[in-house]
Structure formats: structure tokens, C-alpha cells
Amino acid sequence: MSGLIGRKIGMTSIFDENGKNIPCTVIECGPCVVTQVRTNEVDGYSAIQLGFDDKAEKRSIKAELGHFKKAGTAAKKKVVEFKGFDQEYKLGDVIAVDLFAEGEFVDVVGVSKGRGFQGVVKRHGFGGVGQATHGQHNRLRAPGSVGASSYPSRVFKGMRMAG
């Protein structure tokens, strides 16, 4: 299973031959540099380590700088190992998007940006309550009512709240 490292640039849309609008994610993928080659004899498994996106030298520790110097490249922000490449690669080789053929299906794995504990305005798009004046105290971005107090005497499952 071959692979590359990339990052999301943004979103766009394209039109197909029938005029249908298709949303697309734009990903900057590669070029990735082979920073280490793992072998069965030395490491017990075979894989290659790829590095992506240059990092400033002052933000790198000496061990990282030595590791990347062996491959003849600058320090990288992201380093990932991939197993099962069809070709044999050696230290310092550059792998680009031409690894994939046009029309080939690929699996994309991403990490979403963590947002922590958020209120209902950001989390669910609530508009807030009424005016910001006329005796309005501290309930401007509050969710409002979450249910009746007498019956059913509980909050229904799925109620949109902060979290």
C-alpha cells in the first residue's frame, strides 16, 4: 500500500459534463522525501519513512537535523512510515503525485481540527436570545429553553446543547 503525505488547502467545486456542481477538496500532496528505509534485516519489517513540508532549522532539535542530513534534505514538519511500496526507494528519493494514475481511487485519512468545549452559537449556529438591552442580563448567547419543567420532566435525547 503506497502513500503520500499532504495537507488540505481549501475547497472548490467543479461542473461535470451534465452541468452538475460537484464539491471538491483541494489537497497539496507531496513532494515527499524518503528520510529512512526500514529493512527486515535491521528493523524486522520493511517500510519507508517519508517527510513532508520543510521546517525551519531553528525549530528542529539536533537529533532531527542529523536524521534529515543523512537523507540530504532539510528538516520536515511531518514524518510518516508507509509499508508495501511496489518500487524500491533509497534514501533521499523524492516521491510526487505521479505515483498515482489518473482516475485511480485513493483512500484519504485526515485529522480534524479540535475545537474543545463550544457553546451553542458556534456548535449549532443558534442566533442568541432577543435583544442585548432592555434589562437583558447575561443570556445573550444562551440556548434558551431546553424543555418543559412539569411534563415530561426531563430533557429529550438529542437536545442541541453546548459541548
Instruction: Give the bridge partners for 22, in sequence order.
Output: 14
What percent of the chain stands above pLDDT 70? 99
Residue 123 has pLDDT above 90, yes or no: yes
Confidence of residue 137 (pLDDT cuts 50, 70, 90): confident
- Looking at residue 53, its pLDDT comes to 92
Q: What is the pLDDT of residue 40?
A: 92
Q: Assign a CATH topology to domain 6-98.
A: Double Stranded RNA Binding Domain (3.30.160)
Nearest CA among 23, 47, 17 for reference residue 35: 47
- What's the whole-number mean pLDDT along residues 123-150? 83
Q: Name the least confident of 12-26, 52-66, 121-135.
A: 121-135
71 CB neighbour count, 10 Å cutoff: 19
- Whether pLDDT at 1 is above 70: no
Report the alpha-carbon distance of residue 26 to residue 115 in Å, rounded: 22
Round the average pLDDT of the chain to a whole number and report it: 90
Euclidean distance between CA atoms 162 and 146, whole angstroms: 12
pLDDT digits (tens, 9 = 90+) for 8-38: 999 999 999 999 999 999 999 979 999 999 9
Query: What are the residue ranges spanned by the domains of the chain?
Result: 6-98, 114-163
For residues 132-151, give the mean pLDDT. 83
CA separation for the pair 8, 82 (Å, rounded): 20
Task: Specify the 3-state DSSP secondary structure of 140.
Answer: coil
Residue 87 in this model has a pLDDT that exceeds 90: no
Would you place residue 65 in the very low, low, confident or very high pLDDT band (cuts 50, 70, 90)? very high
Q: Which amino acid is at 79?
A: V
DSSP character string of 85-118:
-SS---TT-EE-GGGSPTT--------PPP--S-
